[in-house]
C-alpha cells in the first residue's frame, strides 16, 4: 500500500503483516541452514552484495555452510541466457549437500551423488537434510527424549475453564487410545492437521467467511505454480535429466515480491523462476511437443526423441498466493477420517490477481528458455479453477496465522495461542500469506525463534508472551 496505494489491492484480499521482521529472525534462518548444511552461494553478506548469489536476498550474517552444488548443463545454459537478457541468475540453495559436512550437533552428512531419486525417496548417503539426518540421531540418545512413533494425536485436552491445555489424547499403532498429560503443548502438524486439531479441540474462534470474523481456518493459501518446456535439437543438445538432485537449480529473483514495479501489470506478488533438474525417472519424465498423440507408437517415438534433449523443470515458476476472504479451511460436514472425526475441507480457488501474476511470470520464464536455444517452447499457464489432480507442490499454508491482533490471527509473534498461553502452534499454518518461496526455511526459522522464546522467557514465567 505504501508504494501503490491501498486501492491497488483486490478488495477481498486479506493480506496482513507477520508480526516479526526479517532482521529478528535472520539468526534463526542462519541456525537452520547450518543445522542442515545447506548448499548455496550468498548474495548479500552483511549488506554487501556478493557476485554469483541472489542480489535480492536479505542481508545474511555469514555464507552458506557448504558451497552451491555443481550445476548440470541445462542450468549453465539457463544462467548464460538469463545473463544475456539482463538478469542476475544464481544457484538455488539446496538441502542436498555439495560436500561432506559436520553439523553443529556433531552429525556427519555426505555429498550428494546426483542419483535422481531424491524428492520422493529416502537418502542412504545422508546427503539430504531432514530430521532423520540432522537432529534425530542426537535426540534419540537423550535420556529426557521419547518419540512415540506410529501414533496420531486426536485432540488437545483442556481444563474445565477451556483456557489451558492439559495434554493430548492419541491413538497408537494398535488402535488403543491414550492420554498424555502435559504442562506445555506444542502443536507441529504442519498446516491441515494443525487446523483440524484446533477446530476439533475447540481452541480459537472458527473463521466465518460471510462475516469475515474468526481466526481458525482464515488466510489459507497455497502456491501459484506453472511450467515451461523447451524442446531442443536432439543432435546438438543432451541434458541427461537423470543426473539430478532434489532441489538443484539455477534461478532468477527479479520478479519476486516487490523486486519490480507492479504498477503497469495490475497484480501484486510474484515469484522466483528457474531451471530445476530433480529427476529423469522414465515413468514421469516424458516431455513431448504439442500435438503428439497421448499413446501409441508415435507417442513412444516422441518420448524417445525428446527425453535427453528437452528441458522441463516441473515447477519452473514458483509464484506467491495471497490470502482472500473466501479461501479458508473448516471441518467437512460429510467426510470423516478413520477415527470418525470430520476431515478438513478446503474452500479455495485462484483469483484474478494470481492468474495475472502467473501469466506474466510464465511469459518471462519462456523468454529465457527461448534464449537458451529451444526450437520449440511450450507454456503451461496456471489456470482456474483450482485442481489438485495436476501436481503443484504440497506447500499449503495458513489457517492458524500469526500476527499482532487476536481478531485477525490465531497466534502471536512467538507462535503462542492467543486463547491458551501454554499452547504453541508451529508450522506453515502460521503464515499469513504464502510468498514466492517454498516455506521450509521460514517455517524452521520461526520454530527456532519460538523455541528460544519458550526457553528464555516462557519457562521462567509461564503466561502470555504478548499482551492481547
For the stretch 139-175, pLDDT in tens is 999 999 999 999 999 999 999 999 999 999 999 999 9
C-alpha cell at 127: 546427503
pLDDT score at 453:
99
CB 397 within 8 A of CB 428: yes
Catalytic residue among 222, 262, 351, 395: 395
Determine the length of the chain.
468
Question: What SS3 state is found at 137?
Answer: helix
DSSP for 266-323, written as a single string: T----EEEEEE-----TTT-----TT--SSSHHHHHHHHHHTTTEE--SS-EEE-B--
If phi over 0 gives left and psi between -120 and 50 gives alpha, with beta otherwise, what is residue 435? Answer: beta
pLDDT score at 445:
99
| Greatest alpha-carbon span in the chain | 74
If phi over 0 gives left and psi between -120 and 50 gives alpha, with beta otherwise, what is residue 336? Answer: beta
- pLDDT tens sequence across 88-147: 999 999 999 999 999 999 999 999 999 999 988 999 899 999 999 999 999 999 999 999
CB 196 within 8 A of CB 332: no
Instruction: Please give the Cα distance from 311 to 238 (Å, whole number).
Output: 10
Q: Domain extents for the chain?
A: 12-147+184-458, 148-183
pLDDT score at 6:
85
Q: Which residues, in sequence order, are CB contacts of 308 under 8 Å at separation 6+?
A: 234, 238, 239, 240, 241
- pLDDT tens sequence across 417-453: 999 999 999 999 999 999 999 999 999 999 999 999 9
Q: Is 80 exceeded by the pLDDT of residue 185?
A: yes
Claim: this prediction has a pTM higher than 0.85: yes
Q: Is 80 exceeded by the pLDDT of residue 314?
A: no
pLDDT score at 315:
78
Instruction: Please give the Cα distance from 337 to 314 (Å, whole number).
Output: 32
Is-catalytic flag, 395? yes
DSSP state of 438: -
Phi, psi angles (nearest 5°) of residue 101? -150, 140
Amino acid at each position: 500500500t505504501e508504494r501503490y496505494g491501498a486501492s491497488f489491492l483486490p478488495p477481498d484480499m486479506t493480506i496482513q503483516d507477520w508480526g516479526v521482521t526479517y532482521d529478528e529472525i535472520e539468526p534463526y534462518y542462519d541456525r537452520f541452514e547450518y543445522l542442515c548444511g545447506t548448499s548455496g552461494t550468498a548474495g548479500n553478506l552483511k549488506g554487501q552484495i556478493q557476485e554469483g548469489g541472489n542480489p535480492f536476498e536479505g542481508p545474511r550474517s555469514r555464507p552458506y555452510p557448504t558451497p552451491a552444488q555443481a550445476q548440470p548443463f541445462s542450468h549453465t545454459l539457463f544462467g548464460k541466457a538469463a545473463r544475456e537478457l539482463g538478469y542476475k541468475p544464481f544457484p538455488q540453495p539446496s538441502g542436498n549437500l555439495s560436500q561432506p559436512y559436520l553439523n553443529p550437533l556433531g552429525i556427519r552428512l555426505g555429498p550428494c551423488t546426483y542419483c535422481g531419486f531424491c524428492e520422493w525417496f529416502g537418502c542412504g548417503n545422508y546427503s539430504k537434510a531432514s530430521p532423520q539426518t540432522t537432529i534425530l540421531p542426537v535426540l534419540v540418545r537423550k535420556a529426557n527424549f521419547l518419540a512415540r512413533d506410529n501414533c496420531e494425536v486426536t485432540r488437545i485436552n483442556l481444563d474445565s475453564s477451556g483456557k489451558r491445555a492439559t495434554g493430548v489424547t492419541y491413538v497408537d499403532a494398535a488402535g488403543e487410545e491414550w492420554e498424555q498429560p502435559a504442562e506445555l503443548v506444542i502443536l507441529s502438524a504442519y498446516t491441515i492437521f494443525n487446523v483440524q486439531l484446533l477446530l476439533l479441540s475447540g481452541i480459537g474462534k472458527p473463521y466465518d467467511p460471510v462475516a469475515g470474523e474468526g481466526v481458525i481456518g482464515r488466510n489459507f493459501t497455497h502456491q501459484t505454480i506453472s511450467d515451461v518446456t523447451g524442446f531442443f535439437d536432439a543432435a546438438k543438445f543432451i541434458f541427461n535429466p537423470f543426473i539430478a538432485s532434489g532441489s538443484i537449480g539455477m534461478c532468477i529473483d527479479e520478479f519476486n515480491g516487490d523486486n519490480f514495479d507492479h504498477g503497469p501489470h495490475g497484480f501484486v506478488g510474484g515469484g522466483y523462476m528457474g531451471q530445476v533438474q530433480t529427476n529423469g525417472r522414465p515413468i514421469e519424465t516424458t516431455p513431448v511437443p504439442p500435438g503428439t498423440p497421448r499413446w501409441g507408437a508415435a507417442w513412444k517415438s516422441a518420448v524417445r526423441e525428446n527425453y535427453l534433449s528437452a528441458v522441463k523443470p516441473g515447477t519452473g515458476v514458483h509464484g506467491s498466493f495471497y490470502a482472500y476472504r473466501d479461501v479458508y479451511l473448516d471441518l467437512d460436514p460429510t467426510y470423516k477420517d478413520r477415527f470418525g472425526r470430520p476431515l478438513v475441507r478446503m474452500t479455495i480457488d485462484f483469483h484474478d490477481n494470481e492468474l495475472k501474476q502467473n501469466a506474466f511470470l510464465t511469459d518471462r520464464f519462456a523468454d529465457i528458455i527461448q534464449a537458451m536455444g529451444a526450437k520449440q517452447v511450450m507454456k503451461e499457464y496456471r489456470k482456474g479453477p483450482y485442481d489438485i489432480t495436476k501436481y503443484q507442490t504440497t506447500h499449503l499454508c495458513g489457517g492458524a496465522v500469526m500476527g499482532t491482533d487476536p481478531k485477525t490471527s490465531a497466534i502471536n509473534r512467538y507462535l503462542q495461542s492467543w486463547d491458551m498461553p501454554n499452547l504453541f502452534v508451529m508450522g506453515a499454518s502460521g503464515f499469513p500469506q504464502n510468498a514466492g518461496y517454498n516455506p521450509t526455511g521460514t517455517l524452521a526459522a520461526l520454530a527456532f525463534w519460538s523455541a528460544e522464546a519458550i526457553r528464555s522467557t516462557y519457562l521462567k514465567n509461564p503466561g502470555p508472551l504478548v499482551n492481547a
